Every structure is written in C-alpha cells, then in structure tokens.
A and B are shown apart, each in its own frame.
Chain A
Amino acid sequence: GAGVSQSPSNKVTEKGKDVELRCDPISGHTALYWYRQRLGQGLEFLIYFQGNSAPDKSGLPSDRFSAERTGESVSTLTIQRTQQEDSAVYLCASSWREYEQFFGPGTRLTVL
C-alpha cells in the first residue's frame, strides 16, 4: 500500500500570504502528526490527531497556524499571514495507535 503522501512537495510564497499544506496518511492509521523542521534542526512538534479525540495543539507556535483532519483521513495544515521564520520543511507522520510513526516526504516551504 501507499505510504504517507504530502503535497505540495515545495511551496514558495510571499510574506503575508496564506498557505495550505496537505497530508494523506496511511489508510487505517488512527494517529496523525505534524512537525516542523528548520534547516539543520530537529523536529518540532506542532499538532497530533488521534481518532475522534480532540487534537493536541500544544505545539502550534502561534494562532496563525491551524490544522484540520477529516475523520481518519486527510489533514491540512494552514499557515495564515506567513512570515519568513515560517520557512522550514513541514513533515507529516501517521501511525496505528501510538507505535512507530511513518513519515511523508515533507513540504519545503519558503517564505520570501
């Protein structure tokens, strides 16, 4: 079966614009995670969805960031009024319950 997919793979935008990043998890995986990784840094947790439970949004850096997930399928991460410091690779991962996470290839966001 297919792995986790993310789109777009690269996104260049102008400061102040909104962007929407998409993640398609592995079918049947109940948990979905978003991370941010700045150049040369580790993974920064953003948000976690588990089934129908309320998402853990504790990692979102500001109210410009939001994410949604439809049931146990697609998730979108939205960044409003992008800033240059938002430039990073945004990684999505899914897992079955709380076991190993399977990562997508990431979306490289560049804010000019």
Chain B
Amino acid sequence: SQQGEEDPQALSIQEGENATMNCSYKTSINNLQWYRQNSGRGLVHLILIRSNEREKHSGRLRVTLDTSKKSSSLLITASRAADTASYFCATDGSTLGRLYFGRGTQLTVWP
C-alpha cells in the first residue's frame, strides 16, 4: 500500500501545549499534504510540502519532511481547544492525481 500512516492514532493534550503528529509512507512522492477533519465531515487542507523541501511553516503549524526516512511530522504550537480534530497526511504516489490518505490522528485539546 502507498498509504501514509499517522502516529499516534490518538493524542490528548492541554491547551497551550504543543502537539506533534507523525506520518510515514512507503513510496517516493512529489509532495505530501496535511488535512484536518472536524466531526467526520469534509477535510480542510492545511499545508503542502514538496519533496525538495525539508520544513514549512504556516501560522502555528510546522511541517517537516524527511524523504530518506519517508516520514513527515506536523507540529501544532500553543494548541487551542478549537484544534480538536482528526489530522490526516496524504501523499501523491505513482498515479498522478491520486492522494493516498492515512487513518489519521485524533487530537483532543482540553481547555
């Protein structure tokens, strides 16, 4: 399978703490994306990192990519209760246009 796999499956933290989620994948990629999903509905795109990039920032989000280890991490700094959601990584694989999603990390941020 080309699917990304997120780790951990579930993460529970207090507001203000940082949350780190990891993603591993199996095949070579052109880019890796992170999405967020609230309450089992539509996903929202958070950030895209290309295979020639190592780190990218967007607001409180920091994404790293290590293509030699086929892994990525998503860091959310100074978390808020509103960050509670499921987070998915998605990789493009050998088939142009398709994204391969992992099972996601369920993040719970307690106020």
Contacts and interface: CB of A to CB of B under 8 A. Distances in A.
A104 interface: yes
B45 A91 contact: no
Contact of A43 (B44, B48, B97, B101): B101
Interface stretch (A34-42, A60-68, A71-79): A34-42
Given A31-B97, A100-B48, A42 B104 contact: yes
Given A42-B3, A42-B104, A50 B97 contact: yes
Interface residues of B, number: 22
Interface residues of A, number: 25
A56 B41 contact: no
Nearest to A50: B97
Nearest to A45: B98
A90 to B, nearest CB: 11
A12 to B, nearest CB: 16
A98 B97 contact: yes
A48 B92 CA distance: 13
B33 interface: yes
B85 interface: no
Interface string B88-104: 10001001111111111
Interface string A94-112: 0000111111111000000
Nearest to A41: B103
Interface of B: 3, 33, 35, 40-45, 48, 88, 92, 95-104
28 contacts: A4-B42, A31-B97, A37-B40, A39-B40, A41-B103, A42-B3, A42-B102, A42-B104, A43-B43, A43-B88, A43-B101, A45-B98, A89-B41, A91-B43, A93-B43, A98-B92, A98-B96, A100-B33, A101-B43, A101-B45, A101-B99, A102-B45, A103-B42, A103-B43, A103-B44, A104-B42, A106-B40, A106-B41
